[in-house]
Structure 1
Amino acid sequence: MTGRAVVTGVGHYLPERIVPNSEFEATLDTSDEWIRARSGIERRHFAAEGETTSQLAANAARAALADAGLDPDDIDAIVVATSTADLTFPSAATMVQSALGMTRGFAFDVQAVCAGFVYALSNANALIVSGQADRVLVIGAETFSRIMDWTDRSTCVLFGDGAGALVLEKQDGAGTAQDRGILSVDLNSDGRYKDLLYVDGGVSTHTTGHLRMQGNQVFRHAVEKLAKTAESALDKAGLGSADVDWIVPHQANIRIIQGTAKKMGLPMDKVVVTVQDHGNTSAASIPLALSVGKARGQIKQGDLVVTEAIGGGLAWGAVVLRW
């Protein structure tokens, strides 16, 4: 028998404030039509004043625990993927642990920007497969609205806030590609491309900073690298594109999503798309899309799901799992 990290619960949380594209027209040289045409985004959610990333994460975690029928103290570990933690330290994950009233186990953050949730899934899978944990709560949560330059129409209209969470539980499998759970992971990074997507500030530079992006260059790298990492992860699992039931990609831009699906030879009706409603929520986008995809009745038990993401670093990767 082979130990597998199986999804047993999923949930998400979005802030109450919904910001349609039209809201930007009063302060920027932009329009709803311009934003939709270039990104596919129609609206996004922004956190309220004083509403933090860890609060969004805790709400998503509660939803995932309820879906799994578990209590917080049934969890051995919490892994939070975020680039917008409440404080420099301690980790957002320990704040979630406290908010849930969880008095056992351990918690830590993973930072790989938009690829963060893929990296967090990989870490959680390793904890389970190695026997260090039996149940891990994996969360992606962001408040990117806090790092936007509201004068830069090329970036500030693209991002939103939110959180999504999965419960992963150790279950025995036969060691084949038909097992439920995480079947393979492919992770990559290349620091030479740091200047394509970054925040121009941080603790050691004594500045807060704003998000900066060379959109055309990021787009070019994204389609190529996302298709390649997804295919590599499928190959590691002994599977191919024809076996895929759903791609659940990082929700950054509809043209990147379409381009990646085309490069993989898969139709868009096999892709879970939420970018129109959430914008780019960075590390939160994949778990948000998984939760919404399940709620819509798209993702069902036994389906083969491929998640893939790319973000600042550049960092990118993919996870193949059977739901």
Structure 2
Amino acid sequence: MSEHTHRPVPVLEAVAGIVPPRVVSNEDLPAHWDTNDVWVRRRTGIGTRHWVDEGTSTGDLALAAAEAVLAKSPAGDVDAVVVATSTPDHPMPGMAPVLATRLGLGGVAAFDVSAVCTGFVYGLATASGMITAGIARRVLLVAADVYSTLISPDDRGAGVVFGDGAGAVVLRAGESGEAGEVLGFDLGSDGAGHDLITVPGGGARGRAEPGRYGPADCHFRMSGREVFQHAVTRMTESSLAALKNVGWTTSEIDRVVAHQANARILSLVGQRLSISDDKVLGNISRVGNTGAASIPLALADAVARDEIHAGEKVLLTAFGGGFTWGSATLVWPEIV
């Protein structure tokens, strides 16, 4: 590339979040789970979560979030759609082409990203790369999950944690130094932990080995205690790597928005980064763990509550099944 060639940079211009209307408090959880509000709050920090009603799918929430963010976004054509999810409407095809058509976006590039709870950060990196490479000028990124449809009715451990939701952002090509510029990333994975957050059945492995999996294997499974320490360690290390990539120190960070996995995980990550609790934003107490949607939902919530402001240095970090993890740095834009 010639030194005179202009390279666009990805700039965040809008964010929105959607949760289904049905609120499920800790008192509303199934009686056979033998739990109560104090027990759930002490272990997870969650008081309520939102679950979809029958007939509502991940794609429906993704559409609502996409429409909301496009309504907030300045006029302009979206020429790529990226969807991050691990609860797609169908194993095939991906959700993004269907979403693009439902939005009336015609023949734009559209595809899915599957990185479980790290999906939004991976999707953000993908969308940013498309802009930097000149492939797209404006990208719609939607992260959506409906774990309530994937969890076994008998799985109290996962059932109390997960909620449903969708979040969306629009990125555009901009100029270096603009507020909203997405500056850098750190991404990683370790497949040795693949079986600690998984849906073992329902895929090609099961079809290749008939009889290996039963109906129960099509439900989500997570080894919570083992995952806990991995999540804290990986998000901390990834955050430090992402900060190093852009020359920031932890003391310079104004806001941290981490994947809303568990309140205790969020607190420990903040402590290990030496970042005070008032800088760590989140909404897990109200919406639970919403998978890939958790970071954009938390960002949209922070905007609505006036907890994040233009010019602030923001760190995003996540950990999910795979294992996957990732962090991103950006300067927050002026968003109404």
TM-score computed with the length of structure 2 as normaliser: 0.92
CA shift digits 1:178-236 (9 cap, x unpaired): 86411110000000011211112122225561111111111111111101101100100
Whole-angstrom CA distance in 2 between matches of 1:316 and 1:249: 11
2:17 to 12, 18, 24: 12
For residues 1-323 of structure 1, what are the structure 2 equivalents within 5 Å?
2-24=7-29, 26-70=31-75, 74-174=77-177, 180-204=180-204, 205=206, 209-323=218-332
Whole-angstrom CA distance in 2 between matches of 1:13 and 1:278: 11
Whole-angstrom CA distance in 1 between matches of 2:114 and 2:15: 21
Corresponding residue number in structure 1 for 2:212: none
Whole-angstrom CA distance in 1 between matches of 2:155 and 2:19: 24
Q: CA deviation at 1:3?
A: 2.2
Letter in 1 for 2:202: G
SS at match of 1:316: strand
Letter in 1 for 2:33: L
Corresponding residue number in structure 1 for 2:211: none
Runs ≥4 residues deviating over 2 A: none
Do 2:179 and 2:310's aligned partners in 1 also have CA atoms closer than 8 Å? Answer: no
Whole-angstrom CA distance in 1 between matches of 2:170 and 2:328: 15
After TM superposition, the structure 1 stretch with the greater mean CA deviation from structure 2, 9-18 or 208-217, is: 208-217
- Unpaired stretches in structure 2, ≥5 consecutive residues: 1-5, 208-214
Letter in 2 for 1:29: D
CA shift digits 1:61-87 (9 cap, x unpaired): 11111111336xx10101100001101
Letter in 2 for 1:211: F
SS at match of 1:255: helix
SS at match of 1:133: coil
Q: CA deviation at 1:58?
A: 1.0
Whole-angstrom CA distance in 1 between matches of 2:257 and 2:28: 28
Summarize the Cα distance change of 1:179–1:239 in structure 2 as closer, same or farther, 3 Å threshold.
farther
SS at match of 2:301: helix
User: What fraction of aligned residue pairs are identical, expressed as a percent?
Assistant: 42
Whole-angstrom CA distance in 2 between matches of 1:70 and 1:57: 20
Do 1:43 and 1:277's aligned partners in 2 also have CA atoms closer than 8 Å? Answer: yes
Whole-angstrom CA distance in 1 between matches of 2:90 and 2:75: 29
Whole-angstrom CA distance in 1 between matches of 2:15 and 2:222: 31
RMSD between superposed Cα atoms in Å: 1.4
Do 1:9 and 1:66's aligned partners in 2 also have CA atoms closer than 8 Å? Answer: no
Q: Which is greater in Rg?
A: 2
Do 1:223 and 1:260's aligned partners in 2 also have CA atoms closer than 8 Å? Answer: yes
Whole-angstrom CA distance in 1 between matches of 2:17 and 2:282: 15
- Unpaired stretches in structure 1, ≥5 consecutive residues: none
Q: CA deviation at 1:31?
A: 1.0
Whole-angstrom CA distance in 1 between matches of 2:301 and 2:7: 30
Task: Give the number of aligned pairs.
Answer: 318
Letter in 2 for 1:298: E
SS at match of 2:282: coil
CA shift digits 1:18-45 (9 cap, x unpaired): 1111112522111111110000011111
Do 2:254 and 2:314's aligned partners in 1 also have CA atoms closer than 8 Å? Answer: yes
Corresponding residue number in structure 1 for 2:3: none
Corresponding residue number in structure 1 for 2:210: none
